[in-house]
Amino acid sequence: MQRFVVVGLNLLLCYGVIILASRKLDPRFLELVHSPVVQEHGIYTRDNMIPVERGQKDTPNIVILFADDMGWGDMGANSPTSYVHTPTLDSLAAKGIRFTDFHSGAATCSPSRASLLTGRLGLRNGVVRNFEPDSIGGLPLNETTLADVARRKGYTTGMIGKWHLGINGLYHPIHRGFETYYGLPYSNDMGCIDSYCYNSPEQTKCPTKLNQNITANGVKNITSWMNIGVPLYDDLKIIEQPVNITILSSRYAERARSFISRNAKKSFLLYVAFAHMHVPLAFQTDEGFLPYQNTLYELDETVKTIHQALINSGVEENTLIWFASDNGPWELKCEYSGSAGPFKGDWQRRAEGGGGGSASKQTVWEGGHRVPSFIYWPQVIKEGWVSAALASTLDILPTVASLIRAPLPPGRAFDGVDLTPVINGRQSNRNTVLFHPNSGAAGPEGEIGAARVGPYKGVYYSGGSPACGGNTGPSQHHDPPLLFDLESDPSESSPLSPTSPNFGKVMKVIKKELQNLHYSLKVDNKSQADYTQNPSLTPCCSVFEPACRCH
Nearest to 135 by CA among 531, 506, 462, 430: 531
- Catalytic pick from 164, 172, 175, 307? 164
Asked if residues 190 and 225 have their Cβ atoms less than 8 Å apart, the reply is yes
Residues 6+ apart with CB under 8 A from 321: 63, 65, 92, 96, 307, 310, 375, 376, 377
- The distance from CA 434 to its chain's CA centroid, rounded to whole angstroms, is 18
Q: What is the pLDDT of residue 223?
A: 67
Nearest to 232 by CA among 249, 219, 211, 210: 249
DSSP alpha helix (H) spans, 387-499: 396-403, 420-423
Strands of 94-251 (E only): list them. Answer: 97-99, 102-103, 156-161, 180-183, 232-234, 237-240
**C-alpha distances in angstroms, 312 versus 249, 264, 307, 380?**
20, 10, 9, 20
Task: List all residues 6 or more positions away from 245 whose beta carbon is below 8 Å from its beta carbon.
Answer: 188, 193, 195, 197, 230, 275, 280, 282
User: Do 232 and 243 contact (CB within 8 A), yes or no?
Assistant: yes
pLDDT for 121: 98
Q: Are 348 and 368 spatial neighbours (Cβ–Cβ below 8 Å)?
A: no
Chain centroid to Cα 82, Å, comes to: 26
Return d(Cα 379, Cα 450) in angstroms, integer. Answer: 37
CA distance 457 to 481: 9
CATH of the domain at 323: 3.40.720.10
Label the pairing between strands 97-99 and 385-387: parallel
383 in a structural domain = yes
Examine residue 277 and state whether it is found in any structural domain, yes or no: yes
Closest to 46 measured CA to CA, from 20, 9, 17: 9
Tell me if 499 is assigned to some domain. Answer: no
Domain count, the chain: 1
- Count of residues for the chain? 551
In a domain, 235, yes or no: yes
In a 10 Å sphere around its CB, with 0-12 CB exposed, 13-18 middle and 19+ buried, how is residue 85 labelled?
A: middle
CB distance 78 to 296 below 8 Å? no
Rounded to a whole number, what is the distance in angstroms from the first to the last CA of the chain? 41
Q: Do 319 and 467 touch, CB atoms closer than 8 A? A: no
Give the pLDDT confidence score for residue 211 in this predicted structure: 59
Amino acid identity for residue 140 in this structure = P
- CB of 412 closer than 8 Å to CB of 120: yes
Helices (H), 80-203: 87-95, 109-118, 122-125, 146-152
The parts of the chain modelled with pLDDT lower than 50 are: 1-51, 55, 216-217
Residue 212 has a pLDDT of 57
Of the candidates 109, 206, 540, 541, the residue annotated as catalytic is 109
Is residue 438 a part of any domain in this protein? Answer: no
What residue spans of 313-370 are helical by DSSP H?
A: 346-349, 366-369
Q: Under 8 Å CB-to-CB from 68, ≥6 apart: which residues? A: 109, 162, 187, 273, 274, 275, 276, 277, 278, 325, 326
Q: Reply yes or no on whether 192 is catalytic.
A: no
Q: Which residue range is the domain that position 402 belongs to?
A: 61-429+526-537
363 domain-assigned:
yes
The answer to whether residue 517 sits within a structural domain is no
Residue 211 covered by a domain: yes
* Cis ω for the linkage preceding 231 (within 30 of 0): no
CA distances from 41 to 27, 138, 143, 501, 505 (A): 21, 17, 10, 51, 44
The amino acid at 57? K
Nearest C-alpha neighbor of 30 from the set 46, 20, 18, 22: 18
Per-residue pLDDT, 55 = 47
Radius of gyration of the chain (CA): 22
